Amino acid sequence: MSLLFLILLSLLFASGVSSLPVTTIGVTYNPSRVAHHPPSPDHVASRIQSSLKLFSAVRLPDPDPATIRAFAYSNISLLLNVPNSLLPALAANASAAKLWLYTHVLPFYPRARISTISVGSDALLDPDVADPDLRLLPALRNLHRSLRDLGIHSIAVSTTFSFVHVITTAFPPSAAEFQQPLADLLVKPLLQFLDQTNSSFLINLHPYSVYSLNHDIPIGYALFQEEPFSFRDDPLTGVRYRNLFDTMVDAVISAMAVAGHENIPVIVTETGWPSDDDSNYSEMYIKGLIRHLRSGLGTPLRKEGVAETYIYQLLDAPDDKNQSQRQNWGILYPNMTNKYHIDFSASNSIIAGGGGGRLIWVFVAVWLLH
């Protein structure tokens, strides 16, 4: 029986059944956003590892050494952001890039699993940064070169855009392009840089923003609800979309294809839904997003889906950009108690390759042989 068992197991794994990670699910953590008595970074890191195991990555929009240190020796990967205010210095002088790395990377790497550095976030809209379109690429190149000079080859370098500011349309996805003149001046050279350095395209992608601008979109379509009319067909390709998130992701992929770089991985650096009223839309969106990302279905144009998705954000705090609306985007209250009835304790992996059924048949066969 042991020989037959080994044969069955070999057939099982030869058929492509394995425990594979799906899209990495992360969360944005910004302690400076919590106004009153924020929990310590050590406490946050410990909580994520112990009871928020769904999140295997953390994005730090405003990283400080203490916060980075808190995640050292953990299995959590980090996406760090260089502030927009440093773009002019990084673009002008490689020594400024090395100085930032000596403070935020070298003391902790590789004990802290830093995977990606975003040089600026939505810098094109920052009024305090002069000519950001001219400074972004030089800043990226200087930081990338400085990492290599320091012997670090596993940290990718990119920058972050917002969907509504760089993509011409969310629907149909096949008609999407990068907005001009930004596409020719910055995005195409950036995509070439990302391709050459094996990095990813970083995008803040909020279906809430698109839905807010167009209420003709069914709310169920925006919230991953499986309802009779929660779908839209791309008239140019015939592809059916069942949620707004996939529609927007494929719009980004189509825009990259038009620019000649359709195979660059995509990282969704922000996505979420604000809890600005008594509705449960925020909880519905987060639940639907997690269910979709864990399904391993990807998107119609990219079966492997996005590489990483970061939920915005960990701790409740009023949105600086919408103070009048008192929008809160956190999935936990500032004291780290649960805000929603969502289980964040599950591991971020599935049995891939359609193997669940075959695995059951193997156990049945072994039981019968016994």
**What is the per-residue pLDDT across 39-61, written as a single tens digit (0 to 9) for each?**
999 999 999 999 999 999 999 99
Q: What is the pLDDT of residue 215?
A: 80
**pLDDT confidence tier of residue 32, bands split at 50, 70 and 90:** confident
**Three-state secondary structure call for residue 309:** strand
Give residue 268's pLDDT band: very low, low, confident or very high (50, 70, 90). Answer: very high
pLDDT at residue 365 is higher than 50: no
CA distances from 57 to 52, 106, 200, 211 (A): 11, 19, 15, 27
pLDDT at 4: 44
Distance CA 88, CA 256 (A): 27
Per-residue confidence at 349, pLDDT binned at 50, 70, 90?
A: low
Q: What is the pLDDT of residue 133?
A: 85
**Per-residue pLDDT at 155 exceeds 80:** yes
Q: Has residue 89 got a pLDDT over 80? A: yes
pLDDT at 324 over 50: no
Instruction: Say yes or no to pLDDT of 364 above 70.
Output: no
* Residues 51, 31 contacting (CB under 8 angstroms): no
Q: What is the pLDDT of residue 13?
A: 41
Looking at residue 132, its pLDDT comes to 86
Lowest-pLDDT range of 269-273, 345-349, 351-355: 351-355
pLDDT of residue 189: 97
pLDDT for the residue 129: 85
Helix axes 132-149, 94-104, angle to 10 degrees: 60
Alpha helices in the chain (DSSP H): 2-14, 41-51, 65-70, 87-92, 94-104, 132-149, 163-166, 182, 188-196, 207-213, 219-222, 244-258, 281-295, 355-369
d(CA 202, CA 198): 13
What is the model's pLDDT at position 344?
Answer: 94
In whole numbers, what is the pLDDT of the chain averaged over residues?
A: 87
**pLDDT of res. 319:** 57
> Largest Cα–Cα distance in the chain?
74
pLDDT grade, residue 357 (50/70/90)? very low
Which residue would you say has higher pLDDT here, 211 or 18? 211
**CATH fold of 21-352:** TIM Barrel (3.20.20)
Q: What is the mean pLDDT of residues 253-278?
A: 93
Whether residue 229 has pLDDT greater than 90: no
Distance between CA atoms of residues 240 and 324, nearest Å: 37
Decide which of 227 and 251 is more confident.
Answer: 251
Evaluate whether 29 touches 325 at the Cβ level (below 8 Å). Answer: no
| Amino acid 47: pLDDT | 95
- What mean pLDDT comes out for the span 117-139? 92
Q: Residue 231 pLDDT more than 60?
A: yes
Pick 31 or 10 by higher pLDDT.
31
Instruction: State yes or no: pLDDT of 355 exceeds 80.
Output: no
Say yes or no to pLDDT of 360 above 60: no
Q: Is the pLDDT of residue 221 over 80?
A: yes
Token pair of 300, please?
Answer: 């119609």
* Residue boundaries of the structural domains of the chain: 1-17+358-370, 21-352
